[in-house]
Structure 1
Amino acid sequence: MPTPSTACVSTAEIQAVQLRLLAERTLISVKSSFIGLLLIGITQASSVAWEWLCGFIVLRLISMAYNHQLCRSILSQEPRTALDQGALNRLEWGLLTSGITWGVAAWMLPHVIGAELPAHALIILLIGVSGIMMNTAAITRRALHFFLWGMWSVVLGRVLWGNNDPYTHFLLAGGVSYAGLSLVHGLQLHAQSLAGITAGLENRRLLTAMTEASQREQAQGLALAQANLRLEAALARTKTLASFDELTGLMNRRAFHERLRFEIAAQRRHEEPAALLLLDLDYFKSINDRFGHQIGDAVLRSTANTLKSMLREADLLARWGGEEFLIVLPRTRIDEAGFAAERLRRALESTQIHVTADHEIAETPTPQGQSIAFSASFGVAEMHPGLTLDTVLSHADRALYAAKAGGRNRVCLGGPNLEIQDLTAATVEPDTTLFVPWA
């Protein structure tokens, strides 16, 4: 039964370890038994009858063969599997036969020991064998009892049987004393072995628990890191969605207002001119109604890409809403902004979206499909330091309304001190020298 200190490990776990240790040590002792047989054969060959010596050797070989085969079978299996098959019980009984066969050697002693050297050598060998095997059998309490009682009961029986020997009382007292001392020492070894096995199992369980806890902590840390990455990605996406239009990738109204504050501050600080362009796609609703929103979205993306490809890095471009776009041109006079708007208008006018007969987007024109051309109307207004954004927007919106009223697909200029001018209607080629960045 396990001691109170083994409460955290099961009896089966302890017995499985005991079984493996007992099999390993017994296998080693089986191999060393050949040395004992050789010594007995050498020391007793001239003083013992051949039938006794041969009988002892045969019994020892049978016991050794049984224990050797049993130990190899145990070590070839999982300890718990061998334990469930009763291997521990069989091995303990095997140690009993080992003890008995070693005890049989005492029956080769003469009836009167006297001063015969072979008899003394045999007694010393038996004491040595008892000490060696006790270290092996002490793994389990029952194996220890089986071996010691199996061996010393046969030895003491031989001592009592030779009652004509004047040294019988001394031999009996010495044998009983040595057997008792061997048992006490063996039980101490067993207690130490049991404590070591238990401590090893507890340490292994603790190490396993710590390893599992470490793995769980690592897994949790990895999961937390992944969650943080997802959160950062979600926050970045949220920030992007909060600042940019998802369809076109342009700034939305919120982001545009934030950027525009810096531009207005820079304009006032450096007293530089600036212009605002408000453009609206012509007849965009009819495109959506006729070809579907997928084609309408493609038109919006194409418009955004065209505008981005023709604007400077310092220019601000935003999707103002629906099919409206807003552009701020820093360091640009109203006349330069008009010419720039005219270039943008012509670029959009020459852009086409190719669709199939099923109204799917195509890279190139298809035989049964068609190409959709679209255009935009522009309202251009000058940004003065003293004007608010709403005021400038109203000027650009009034110019845009005039462009639409004038037939669409045109550019009109507007401002507080500027009458509406239809730049497209004037049929004047833009002066590229006035606005070099679009050249």
Structure 2
Amino acid sequence: MMPLPPGRGAARGDTVELPEADTGPGAAADRPRHAAARHLADAVLSDDPRRRIRLTQWLTSVLVYLGSAAVLWVGSRQGWVYAASFIAWSGFLVVAQLAVYVALRSGWSERLNDPALTAAQIVLGVVAVEWGYVICGPARSVTLLPLLLIFTFGAFSLSWRRILWLTVFALTSLIAVAAALHATRPGTGTWSLDNAELRIDLTNVMMILILLPAISLVAARLSSLRSRLRSQRTRLTAALAEVQRLATHDELTALANRRHMQERLTQEQSRFQRLGHPFSIALIDLDHFKFVNDRHGHGGGDEVLRKFARGASAALRAGDVIARWGGEEFLLLLPDTQAPEAQESVERLLAEIRVLPLEDGVPLTFSAGVTEHRPGETVTETVARADRAMYAAKQAGRNRALRQ
């Protein structure tokens, strides 16, 4: 255990346990190598998280192709794969995979509905497998095994409909390839079941007809579950956001509620104590609100509260916060503001509110008490002083802001 210097991840006096690798004799030499490896990984796979995931999946498929190419190379050395056919197959895959890499790494694919190019890569894989089936002679059965792996990638991003169409494409193209292979094979009895080559192809096609739809069904099921989970996550995020909004905002006026304002006041007090930044508050009470309720009912009173909230939100500075404190009372927090400037802001707000039209033409006004937080006092004491100033404004005739 050893202390970290202040500002390097721990407060003064805190201790953290450092990994032994960082304190060993080779740590200084390892760090540049690790940094170089990170830079290389970022250069090849991108530092964008989503793009990096797509490129990592692409790299996985490339490793499978490399393994398959190694098997075919051995076959070419053994004579059951023509060297020219192997070179053409390899050249096709190199060009195709480079094109996919450039599209993913550059971000060009992100303008498409399938930014990972999953469907295109599955089609590419089907073509590669079936081409390998044609050129592998007696060992062609093993070339169909990667076809089962290819469709598992569809579960990550494709809809079940697209997986279905890709499955139909793979099956029909495999049947066509097998038929073309026998149509071009010389000799009589090519289409007879006595032909061993035909029996091998029929067995292969029937096994793929059984296994590939089953794997595609699993992939489609996983894709459906993934879509459902994504939809549920979206709804849950929206629900949590709504719960957070309801917990911190007044439902009628959409302003911050009393609980949220108390938290903000505590934060400002802590900021005042640590940094010395001043802040002021104003307690606002709408004038003659009981008369509004008596004349227009509670519905009319609610509309007046909403109208005041909209007008105040539009008139205040970006950093100011106004909350419904209770009933027709509102509390205004003005960070980094001293009392004289705060009173000017409240008087400007009063001027803006006076011009809001009401149904009976009576101007909307309020009485406000303005005060600045003082050293050594609590937030409750500051609010109480603003409350006294607000009542003084009421007794002085309303429609004004007084400072204490």
Q: TM-score, normalised to structure 2's length?
A: 0.47
Larger radius of gyration: 1
Looking at both structures, which has the greater relative contact order when contacts are Cα pairs under 8 Å and sequence separation is at least 6? 1
